[in-house]
Chain A
Amino acid sequence: DIQMTQTPSSMPASLGERVTISCRASQGISNYLNWYQQKPDGTIKPLIYYTSNLQSGVPSRFSGSGSGTDYSLTISSLEPEDFAMYYCQQYDSSPPWTFGGGTKLELK
């Protein structure tokens, strides 16, 4: 199985700050990488699919990039509703699809 390592596991940040979350795959995944946000109430929604494509309705302050084994999610200017958990997920070649360990974005 492809292992996904997310860093950091938690990140204190301030409103208006630019933050970047990283995700590293145990092997190259050819950009087959998605990002999700989970709110404290458990609600999960997709943010970015296929490395850099913004899901409909997601604010443009979210962006994704990467290639090979290394990928990142950037939030350009933090809003109050952005403090949540973030997960990357790969879907290269064949199941099982695997998720990163998660990053908790906390208010500093």
Chain B
Amino acid sequence: QVKLLQSGAALVKPGASVKMSCKASGYTFTDYWVSWVKQSHGKSLEWIGEIYPNSGATNFNEKFKGKATLTVDKSTSTAYMELSRLTSEDSAIYYCTRVYYGLLLYYFDYWGQGVMVTVSS
């Protein structure tokens, strides 16, 4: 069965960076885009960006360009997101998702369990 297993919670200082992982299993990793979604405390969901593991191609929400860097390791079927120059606004839960991409279709069909990032001195 498809699973996306994310790394554990992180407590980081303002101005620092954090890198989180999303290990995929149960499907061919290189066949599906992986998207990342932010959920600030008590708020809705924001799409950050996506990466296609086969080629490394990425698409970003303009809001997160310069903030988020997406990479993959095909050998371990793992996607990574690094967030830089962290501020309190980056404190949130971050989800990785698999993207189902087809004719007329685009949706997040599997989600990781989420990673809580807390930015505090």
Which A residues form the contact surface with B (CB < 8 A)?
Answer: 32, 34, 36, 42-46, 49-50, 55, 87, 89, 91, 95-102
Asked if A99 meets B95 with Cβ closer than 8 Å, knowing A42-B114, A44-B111, A91-B107, the reply is: no
CA distance in complex: A97, B108 (Å): 11
| Residues of chain A contacted by B106 (CB below 8 angstroms) | 32, 91, 97
B107 close to A43 (CB less than 8 A)? no
26 A-B contacts (beta carbon < 8 Å): A32-B104, A34-B107, A34-B108, A36-B108, A42-B93, A43-B113, A44-B111, A46-B108, A49-B100, A49-B105, A49-B107, A50-B107, A87-B45, A91-B106, A95-B47, A95-B50, A95-B60, A96-B47, A96-B61, A96-B62, A96-B63, A97-B47, A97-B106, A99-B46, A100-B44, A102-B45
| Residues of chain B contacted by A95 (CB below 8 angstroms) | 47, 49-50, 59-61
| Residues of chain A contacted by B107 (CB below 8 angstroms) | 34, 46, 49-50, 89, 91
Asked if A50 meets B104 with Cβ closer than 8 Å, knowing A95-B47, A102-B44, the reply is: yes
CA distance in complex: A42, B39 (Å): 10
Is B89 part of the binding interface, using a Cβ–Cβ cutoff of 8 Å?
no
Interface string of B46-79 (1 = CB under 8 A from A): 1101100000000111110000000000000000
B108 close to A87 (CB less than 8 A)? no
Asked if A99 meets B45 with Cβ closer than 8 Å, knowing A49-B100, A50-B105, the reply is: yes
Closest to B45 in A: A99
Asked if A45 meets B105 with Cβ closer than 8 Å, knowing A95-B59, A99-B44, the reply is: no
B45 close to A89 (CB less than 8 A)? yes
| Residues of chain A contacted by B47 (CB below 8 angstroms) | 95-99
Within the complex, which residue of A42, A96, A98, A99 is in contact with B113, where a contact is CB–CB below 8 Å?
A42
Least distance between A62 CB and chain B CB atoms (Å): 14
